[in-house]
Structure 1
Amino acid sequence: MSPGNRAARLYAIDDGGDGRSLVSFASLSLELPLLRAARHIWQGFRSQLAADPRLLIPTHAQLHAVDLARARGPHLHVSRSTDRSVHKRNTREVILRGLHTIADMPSGRVRVVYRRTERYGQDRPDLFAVLLAEIDAELAEAGTRGIVFVDGNGTERALADALRRLPDGGRRIAGGIRFRRARDHDLLQAADMIAYSAHQAVAKRDAGIEMAHWFGAALPHAEGPSAR
């Protein structure tokens, strides 16, 4: 396929970090013609979780990585095991299973950027602008266009305005940033798992040390996590 004929891509983006000194953004991108096939794979994963007697997570329930890691939330707080530690291990492994599911999506690409900071409020939108610039350059090289979805309700003007930092001429990201609630968007929930596992890979803190290798193991072809 020649660069000028490559399919347009959708980008689902979520943020990560600790809210203080480490900020990150994770992107999952897919070719639009293969979007239905990718979502079919994700729906199969959701059906497996609903049928797994250790979990019984309904297909309509939002998968939020922080809740899974801590075994909390309306569909997780009731233990499916008499051993609390076993139940927590089972819910944490949903994240790893999700990452492997993402790896199976046709045309899927994963990119993560992060920054250590003492100016979290300023560096967060700055880092997002860096990610958008990388995405735009990727699209330009491929000779195609992309649309960007971000978890949120649209009130974060600093993120919405980040696109304006790109040169108007030849910009490859179509339209503005599209904000959607992750609970209503399966691919944003997938991006959340990427962001969370990438954060664990960078932070390597005691509470999540057992998950620190999951990102690299499940997504060996990912771009990043890259310091920016």
Structure 2
Amino acid sequence: MQGNFRIVYVDDSGNARDVAALGWIEIDVRSWNAAMSAWKRFRTQLYEDEKTRIPVDYEFHSVNFIPGRGNPSLLESWNRQKRHRGRVALGALDAIAQMPGTRAGAVYRETRNYAHDRVDLYRAWLHRLNEELGATDSHALVVVDGDGTEHAYRRVHRELPEATRRIVEDSLFQPAKDSHLLQCADIVAYTAFQSVVRAPGKRFMWDWFRSRLPLAQGPTAL
């Protein structure tokens, strides 16, 4: 991706005891329409499949969806069977891997103070992204899951040196429920976190990140 403009959708995952993680998808704006169309095809297929029937506008929130919380499907019988969730989540990762002009990635660090370390991880990631953009003469806009009250992320953007800054504007906040592509970042972040923390109860997810996103960057300790 040389000399282009990118939109980076990023979300966090983790827990207060072990690991803070960030996951993202990065899209060349020239491929944005094709990437969005590919994801919507996947979501439409989930709705039209008579065995699944998950509406296109249902929020794909991994921490709830994958363990079996909520009622994503219009079929009560589907909702009551947790084993169905993994199949859909794997399909989502496959869809992300195949989205045109899109790359996925994740970073993490061990933590004992999640609130602090999450912001510090975002800072380290943002500076690395800025350097990578400079090396390819590119620019990017970063979209973050949130309601705009996370002022720490804005401050991190303003720490970037003006002379070499390649990231346009502060972080742009949008609720994930209103953004299909932030929901993609959510599942990337959650599966990256599970591949690192390796919780016994989530053993079935340990290899998802590397097996389903083979060209992804990370998850990398940062």
TM-score by length of 2: 0.94
Cα shift readout 1:47-97 (whole Å, capped 9, x = no counterpart): 111122332110111111112212222425964249x4xx21111222111
Task: State the AA in 2 paired with 1:130.
Answer: A
1:128 aligns with 2:132: no
Aligned partners of 1:69, 1:141: CA distance in 2, in Å? 38
Aligned partners of 2:78, 2:178: CA distance in 1, in Å? 29
Counterparts of residues 79-94 of structure 1 (less than 5 Å) = 79-81=76-78, 84=80, 87-94=81-88
Aligned partners of 1:88, 1:141: CA distance in 2, in Å? 45
Aligned partners of 1:36, 1:123: CA distance in 2, in Å? 34
Q: Which runs of 5+ in 1 are unaligned?
A: none
Residues 195 and 105 of structure 1: is their aligned pair in 2 closer, same or farther, counting only changes over 3 Å?
Answer: same
For residue 113 of structure 2, the aligned residue among 119, 122, 125 is: 119
Q: Which runs of 5+ in 2 are unaligned?
A: none
Aligned partners of 1:202, 1:62: CA distance in 2, in Å? 25
For residue 62 of structure 1, the aligned residue among 59, 63, 68 is: 59
1:47 aligns with 2:44: yes
What is the CA-CA distance between 1:119 and the residue it aligns to?
Answer: 2.1
- Contact 2:11/2:144 (<8 A) preserved: yes
Which residue number in structure 2 is paired with residue 190 of structure 1? 184
Which residue number in structure 2 is paired with residue 7 of structure 1? 4
Two-structure CA RMSD over aligned residues (Å)? 1.7
The alignment partner of 2:162 has SS state of: coil
The alignment partner of 2:202 has SS state of: helix
Aligned partners of 2:209, 2:51: CA distance in 1, in Å? 23
The alignment partner of 2:24 has SS state of: strand
Aligned partners of 1:31, 1:187: CA distance in 2, in Å? 13
Counterparts of residues 204-215 of structure 1 (less than 5 Å) = 204-215=198-209
Task: State the AA in 1 paired with 2:176.
Answer: A
Aligned partners of 1:169, 1:194: CA distance in 2, in Å? 32
Task: State the AA in 2 paired with 1:14.
Answer: D
The alignment partner of 1:109 has SS state of: strand
What is the CA-CA distance between 1:45 and the residue it aligns to?
Answer: 0.4
- Contact 2:16/2:113 (<8 A) preserved: no
Which residue number in structure 1 is paired with residue 152 of structure 2? 158
TM-score by length of 1: 0.92
Which residue number in structure 2 is paired with residue 36 of structure 1? 33
**Relative to structure 2, which stretch is displaced further, 188-197 or 136-145?**
136-145
Which residue number in structure 2 is paired with residue 140 of structure 1? 134
For residue 177 of structure 1, the aligned residue among 171, 174, 190 is: 171
- Contact 1:154/1:160 (<8 A) preserved: no
Cα shift readout 1:152-186 (whole Å, capped 9, x = no counterpart): 01111112211122212120000111000001011
Paired positions, count: 222
- Contact 2:53/2:75 (<8 A) preserved: no
Aligned partners of 1:175, 1:57: CA distance in 2, in Å? 35
Aligned partners of 1:202, 1:76: CA distance in 2, in Å? 30
**Relative to structure 2, which stretch is displaced further, 14-23 or 99-108?**
14-23
The alignment partner of 2:164 has SS state of: coil
Aligned partners of 1:93, 1:205: CA distance in 2, in Å? 19
Task: State the AA in 1 paired with 2:49.
Answer: D
